[in-house]
Amino acid sequence: MHDEPILKIQRLEKVFGRGCSHCQHEDTRQLEKNFCPYCGTVYACRNISFELFPGEILGIVGESGSGKSTLMQCLYFDETATGGEMFINHEDFKGKNIFALSNQQKRNVRNHILGMVYQNPTKGLKMNFSSIGNIAEKLIAAGNRHVGEMERVGMELLDKVHIPLFRMKEEPKRFSGGMQQRVQIAKALSNYPPILFLDEVTTGLDLSVQASVLDLIKTIQREMGISMIVVSHDLAVIRMLADRTMVMLNGEVIEAGLTDQVLEDPQDAYTQQLVYSLL
């Protein structure tokens, strides 16, 4: 294993609302699940710290509303984290707290270092633009101005995710759900990001398509050595993909460790319940 983590998150917080005298202090706050019963402020992510190593897949599990997706959105800057620090081991940003950078610089990080696959393809794709155009969008954002080259990269990736090339100029709105998801993966991979975020990518896909998408993710990780964070509420997905796993509940990480360890010998009461409720 490598020593230097490629991504390091320290004490990430995401709060929706202003907070009140009852909930502003971390030690004395009395929350009902993840919100304050007095003022309704939602503490979506609380004191989350973790590290991601090169080539590793980190799984995040938890029930809906536990803060998994909010965490991902903060990491991809779709949402602004309320507090905490983010470090990326990259020559341009060494030792800099990424959350403290300007929006323009964050966009730069996002365009060059990160990739994201959303649960809902409508969020990650422009449904009225061609599939090849969608991939080019990410390349254009990363500064590419050469049509021929972008077309070549796009075709290579579409082929990799098994989209027939004769349909590359079609809009994703005319594709099936599984195909849309694969176009999204191709788009996220287009500038070869060292870090990729996958938010519930297989949810809502039928089993055979799920299997092929998972297979694809695993292949990409092996071939390209990309580090990934995979969010899912499906333990089978986590078991298959993730090297290490974090369990989230009510905005907090309640358990973390090697995936096998967490799933075979859960320590926390909630994790035990989660693992044993598996049919």
**SS in 3 state form for 179-247?**
HHHHHHHHHHHCCCCCEEEEECCCCCCCHHHHHHHHHHHHHHHHHHCCEEEEECCCHHHHHHHCCEEEE
The reply on whether position 146 binds other proteins by CB under 8 A is: yes
The token pair that represents 196 in the structure block: 């990729």
Return the range that interacts with other proteins (CB under 8 A); candidates 87-95, 125-133, 208-216, 247-255: 125-133
Question: Smallest distance from the beta carbon of 140 to other proteins, in angstroms?
Answer: 5
Return the range that interacts with other proteins (CB under 8 A); candidates 21-29, 143-151, 158-166, 214-222: 143-151
**81-120 mask for other proteins (x: CB under 8 A)?**
----------------------xx--x-------------
Q: For residues 35 and 23, what is the distance between their CA atoms, to the nearest angstrom?
A: 9
The reply on whether position 169 binds other proteins by CB under 8 A is: yes
Closest by CA position to 226, among listed 43, 26, 6, 44: 6
Question: Smallest distance from the beta carbon of 246 to other proteins, in angstroms?
Answer: 32
Q: For residues 265 and 109, what is the distance between their CA atoms, to the nearest angstrom?
A: 38
The reply on whether position 151 binds other proteins by CB under 8 A is: yes
Question: Smallest distance from the beta carbon of 116 to other proteins, in angstroms?
Answer: 15
Return the range that interacts with other proteins (CB under 8 A); candidates 14-22, 87-95, 134-142, 255-263: 134-142
Q: To which residue do tokens 């992510």 refer? A: 45
Closest by CA position to 134, among listed 181, 171, 166: 171
Name the residue nearer to other proteins (CB basis): 132 or 235. Answer: 132
Question: Smallest distance from the beta carbon of 223 to other proteins, in angstroms?
Answer: 27
Residue type for 13, please? Answer: E
Question: Smallest distance from the beta carbon of 278 to other proteins, in angstroms?
Answer: 41
Among 9, 136, 157, 217, the residue binding other proteins under the rule CB under 8 A is 136
Q: Could you give the 3-state DSSP secondary structure of residue 251?
A: coil
Q: For residues 230 and 276, what is the distance between their CA atoms, to the nearest angstrom?
A: 21
The reply on whether position 150 binds other proteins by CB under 8 A is: yes
The reply on whether position 166 binds other proteins by CB under 8 A is: no
Count of positions (residues) in the chain: 279
Closest by CA position to 215, among listed 229, 201, 233, 204: 201
Among 8, 31, 83, 129, the residue binding other proteins under the rule CB under 8 A is 129
The reply on whether position 147 binds other proteins by CB under 8 A is: yes
- Tell me the CB-side half-sphere exposure of residue 78, using CA atoms within 13 A: 14
Among 59, 62, 115, 133, the residue binding other proteins under the rule CB under 8 A is 133
Interacting residues toward other proteins by CB under 8 A: 103-104, 107, 126, 129-130, 132-133, 136-137, 140-141, 145-151, 169
